[in-house]
Structures are given as C-alpha cells and as structure tokens.
Amino acid sequence: MNLPKPTGSTSYLFVLLVFFFMISEILTAETTITQEDLGPIVPSPGQNAYPPVALVGEAQPSAAFREIWTYLQNGDEKLLDALYPVTDVVYFGAAINYRGHLYGTPVRNKLLAYKGRVHLVVNEMSNQALTHFCLDPEYPIRNTLLTEIADASKDFDGVQLDFEMVPAPDAENFYSFLTLLKKKIGKKTLSVAIPARTRNVGDAYDYDRLSKIVDKIIVMAYDEHWSGSVPGSIASLAWCRKVSDYAIAHIGKDKLVMGLPFYGRAWTEKNPAKAYRFSGISDLINEKNISLINREESIPFFSYDETVHVNVFFEDGFSIISRALMYEDLSVQAIAFWKLGQEDRSIWNRLVIMP
C-alpha cells in the first residue's frame, strides 16, 4: 500500500488511521503472516530503518533449534552479547601465510563472559595454489600445518576448516587431511564450512564423503546471487529449501548446520555488487530518501537511481526469521549466522534454544 504524504492535519490523521488499521489487522491475525499481508514497506523519514517491519516482527513466532551458531570476527568481541541465544561461536579466524604456516589465531580468553562453545576457524578462501600445497601429501607443509592447527585448538572446543578454493583434483587430499586433523584433535568438534549445493557437481565438497569424516557441516546457504551475478536475493526461500532438502538427504540432521546470511548487496548496472550489513542498509534508506520497499519471498528489496540504477536486496528481522522458521519446519536441528555485527538485532528476540 502506498500511503500519501501528509499535507495538512486532515491528511496526517488519515495516514495515522490507515497505519493503525494495518497494525491491528496484523496483530489480531490467527494465520501465518505472508508477503501479501505485509505489502510494500513505507519508511518514515528520519527513522532508523522502518517501524512497520519492527511491529510486524512482534507478531511473528519464534524459531527453536538445538544449536544456534554465529560467526564472530576477531576484534569484534564487543558485539557478542552473553544473553543472545547462541550455543556456538565460530571465532574467525586463523589464516595461512604464503609459507603454509598458521597465523592470526584469536585469543579464546577474550570471550570469557561467553559460556557456550567456541570453535577456532582456520580459513583459506582465495588462493587455490596455496590450498593445493597445504593439502597434497607430497609436500612437508601439510604435516606441519596439521600440527599447528591441532596445537592452536587446545584452548577451543572445536576447529572449523573453511577452505573455499579446494581444486576438484585435490578432493581425496582434502578428505584425508580432515581425517588426520580429526585424529589429532580427538574429542574436540571438527566442523567444515562448504558451499551450498542442490546436487553433486563432482567437486571437492561431496556431502556424503564429508559427513563420514567430520562432526558438523555448515552449509553456507547464501550468495545465491553474488557480486558478479544479476540482482537478486542473497538466499531466496525457494532456493534455500532446495539446498536444505539436498543437505538433509546427504548429510543428515545430526551433523547439518544450515548457514543463514545477515548481509545484503547493492547492484549497479555496470559495477560488481557491494555488500552491506543491516545498519548500512538503514543508513542508505535514509540517505537516498527511499520511498518504497517491496518484498520478494519475504526478502526486502528496493531500487533507486543516481547516475546509474541501483538494485538492493537485504536481510531484516522478518526475512531472517522467515527463513529460520522454514528450516524449523524441515526439522533442521542447527543453524549458523554469517556474521555477528551485520544483523538486524531484533532477530535475537525471535530465536530459542531447545532444551
């Protein structure tokens, strides 16, 4: 619904009456809130984000999971509220230098106020050649790295390997590396973050093989649309359902952790997309005087024109909980958020840890 801008006391009163009628309808509804119930979002000038979404969020049910994981960047410790319903913090993270040695391991004692489990992330996300040399048993760098990771894990409850550039020919080396790492860390939880799939594509991220090696698998169910793609949701609900169906069938509910995004992206006509956290989207809405926001499968989006046309898809409390509720309906036991500090913080009031 497009509400007219007030031009006088009569118009202003009309807007208030329409607004309270809409809220009353939502709060008294007995059925699940749908996109049709919401209609387009009309931001209030000068407000941070848009009040109608916050009010609609109050009418939504909570989603309950046995485990709720969230990624936390080293240096962002102040963003972790001890009262958040979080069972597992994935501490990001240690990296690998050009010589194959571990560096930048976060200090576990920075999170003393947090009483849940903390997992050390070891990541290599951009260098396929380095990944190959770290995994190939022909090179001594592999055994050294395994020992360094095991030593670094001593203060943590688990280790997560986030290798996103594993070449397909290195698949067997990847699986054997994980097998050896699990032996070295013993009873600590070994998890791995892998790309979202709806079928086996013959790469190094074989869901069936990995589920036989590690304790937990985080399926990064985001970037359906990415910086170089056409504009669209970071993770549409229809796509997420296909990803989760495949993951449940090939990983199993006990080991599966479905990843959810907190961030959004803005696409221009020529340049790659820019990623935004929720607070940045709120600032953009106010800065550009956005007059209308729509939803696609509960995911909010808007467009505006400068010297180029810009399309923005993002995540707010309503879209995030809608996705979480879908996973709950599919009997997913655990979810993980990328990453703390990017979110609409109202989401934390809509999550429950199951006993």
Domains of the chain (ranges; CATH) run 63-259+322-353 (3.20.20.80)
pTM reported for the whole predicted model: 0.78
CA-to-CA separations, 100 to 44, 123, 160, 179, in angstroms, rounded: 52, 12, 17, 19
Q: How many CA atoms lie within 13 A of 311 on its CB side?
A: 18
Reference 315, options 334, 338, 331; nearest CA is 338
- pLDDT, block means (10 residues), the chain with 355 residues: 46 43 38 37 39 45 96 97 97 95 96 96 94 96 97 97 96 98 98 97 97 98 90 94 98 98 86 79 87 88 85 92 96 97 93 95
Please tell me the predicted confidence (pLDDT) of residue 329: 96
Amino acid residing at 25 = E
Please tell me the predicted confidence (pLDDT) of residue 296: 87
| The pairing of beta strand 158-163 with beta strand 334-338 | unpaired
Catalytic center residues: 164
For 305, residues 6+ apart whose C-beta sits below 8 A from its C-beta are none
Contact 255, 217 (CB under 8 A): yes
Please tell me the predicted confidence (pLDDT) of residue 233: 93
Residues in the chain: 355
Separation CA 249–CA 242 (nearest Å): 11
Separation CA 128–CA 124 (nearest Å): 9
Separation CA 177–CA 136 (nearest Å): 9
Please tell me the predicted confidence (pLDDT) of residue 46: 38
